[in-house]
Structures are given as C-alpha cells and as structure tokens.
C-alpha cells in the first residue's frame, strides 16, 4: 500500500505516530483548509524526500527507495504468532537394519554357565532374527577376551564367515559359530578389533525365509581400567 502526500505551498504536514498492536499506527494531516486522514498499522514507515527536483515526497510502505534521502520509523516487534499446524509424518525407518552396542561388566571363567541354564556366564545377546541369535562372549581364561558368535535355532541352516562355513548343516547342535575376530587384552592393555580382512558374516535358513549379513566389533577395557571388561558393537542387514 502506498500513501502519498503532496507538499503544497503553505500546507502543514504533521505525522502523528502512536503505538499499535504489532506495529505503528500512522496518521497524516495535510493542509489547514483541507484535512485528509489516512490510518494504517505498519511495522516500518519510510518517508522519501525529493531534494533534487523539488517534487512531491512519498510515504512508502514498500520501502522501495525513490530518492537519495529517507527517514524511516520502525515499530517494535509484535508478539510471536501461534504455532502452525504439524507437518505430515515422515516415512517409516529402515527396519531391515539392526544395530547393537552392549557391554559385559566382567569376564567369566571359560566354560562357566549361569546356574540352571546352558548360557555361559559373561555373555550378552546382541540381536535375534528368526531362529538365529548373535551373542557376545566375555571370558577371562588368561586376561580377557571378547568375541561375537552366531547360534542357529533351526536345523538345515547355512552360515559363512571368513574361511569358516556350514552349508546346509548349521544346526541347533552346531553350537556357537565364530562370526568375528576376538579382542584380547586386560585392564592395563585395552584392545579393539573389527572384522578387517575377515569380512562380514552371513546366515540363512534352508528356505531363505530368514537371511542376514552382519558385521561385529569387539573391545576389551576400551572405556578404561575400571571397565566394563567387554564391549560389543555392530549391525545386521536383514534381507527383505
């Protein structure tokens, strides 16, 4: 919107600015015989004065310069408006990727089991997909060792890691199969090992209904001498 006032000879121009909600309220009174009142709530008013050609001066709400000289009056910032509506929900995350980061406080003697169960002490289940379990083992035969294995809960499955593989005979009775390079160390000699040249491990059921590729990292006292003794990180990518 533009307001225009012609400065005629003998006319008196008065700008009265009062506070308004969200900006300024401007009233312009021009002349003595004729009075024209224009009211508009704005946040910024600039008056451009023609010093060169003695032409009309403009009060321009668009703040587009017309002349070399301008005088601007800025109002106080109004209160924040209400929050807009929530945007649409994003797409679901990728459920085919499973990650883990778990620890075991202290290593257990090799072969030790939980009372009343066949699960060794010093272990932690890292991921379970279909009939398969990825498990971290923290043992202390000499120093401390952290290693990640995979266990089958369905006969006729297959498994491969590095030079190790069971084709069609990765069975329940096969027990834990190594799926990572072990990390060996102590509270005074930390260790962290990834798959490096051994690569990822692969597991599938006989009918291919459950299959995934995994990558495991093992650490010993990587958080310092106070422990935890073993740290296990890694991920699985499940075939959909």
Residue 152, helix vs strand vs coil: strand
Per-residue pLDDT tens for 69-95? 555 655 677 888 899 999 898 877 667
Tell me how far apart the alpha carbons of residues 119 and 150 are, in angstroms, rounded to a whole number. 13
Per-residue pLDDT tens for 174-192? 999 999 999 999 999 999 9
Tell me how far apart the alpha carbons of residues 175 and 45 are, in angstroms, rounded to a whole number. 81
Mean pLDDT check: name the lowest of 58-62, 202-206, 226-230: 58-62
What pLDDT does 143 receive?
A: 81
Residue 168 near residue 206, CB atoms below 8 Å: yes
Q: What is the DSSP string of 169-230?
A: EE-GGG--EE-S--EEEBTTB-EEE--GGG--EEEE-TTSSSEEEEEEEEEESTT-TTS-SE
Tell me how far apart the alpha carbons of residues 139 and 227 are, in angstroms, rounded to a whole number. 14
What pLDDT does 197 receive?
A: 76
**Residue 46 pLDDT grade (very low, low, confident, very high; cuts 50, 70, 90):** low
In the DSSP assignment, the letter for residue 87 is P
Tell me how far apart the alpha carbons of residues 197 and 52 are, in angstroms, rounded to a whole number. 81
Residue 149 near residue 179, CB atoms below 8 Å: yes
In the DSSP assignment, the letter for residue 37 is -
Per-residue pLDDT tens for 137-161? 999 877 899 999 999 999 999 999 9
What pLDDT does 236 receive?
A: 95
Beta strands in the chain (DSSP E): 2-5, 13-20, 23-30, 39-42, 44-49, 57-60, 69-74, 97-104, 123-129, 132-139, 144-152, 157-161, 164-170, 177-178, 183-185, 191-193, 201-204, 211-220, 230-238
Residue 239 near residue 212, CB atoms below 8 Å: yes
Residue 148 near residue 216, CB atoms below 8 Å: yes
């Amino acid at each position: 919107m533009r307001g225009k006032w012609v400065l005629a000879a003998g006319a008196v121009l008065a700008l009265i600015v009062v506070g308004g909600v969200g900006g300024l309220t401007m009233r312009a009174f021009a002349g003595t015989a004729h009075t024209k009142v224009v009211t508009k709530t704005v946040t910024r008013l600039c008056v451009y004065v023609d010093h060169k050609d003695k032409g009309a001066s403009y009060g321009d709400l668009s703040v587009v310069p017309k002349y070399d000289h301008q005088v601007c009056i800025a109002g106080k910032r109004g209160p924040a408006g209400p929050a807009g509506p929530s945007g649409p929900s994003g797409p679901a995350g990728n459920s085919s990727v499973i990650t883990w980061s778990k620890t075991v406080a202290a290593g257990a003697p090799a072969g030790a089991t939980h009372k009343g169960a066949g699960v060794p002490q010093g272990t932690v289940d890292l991921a379970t997909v279909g009939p398969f379990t990825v498990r971290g083992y923290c043992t202390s035969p000499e120093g401390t060792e952290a290693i990640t294995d995979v266990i089958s809960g369905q006969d006729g499955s297959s498994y491969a890691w590095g030079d190790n593989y069971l084709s069609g005979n990765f069975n329940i009775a096969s027990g834990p199969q190594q799926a990572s390079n072990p990390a060996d160390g102590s509270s005074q000699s930390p260790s962290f090992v990834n798959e490096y040249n051994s690569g990822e491990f692969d597991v599938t059921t006989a009918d291919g209904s459950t299959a995934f590729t995994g990558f495991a990292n093992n650490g010993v006292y990587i958080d310092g001498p106070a422990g935890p003794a073993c740290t296990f990180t890694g991920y699985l990518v499940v075939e959909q």
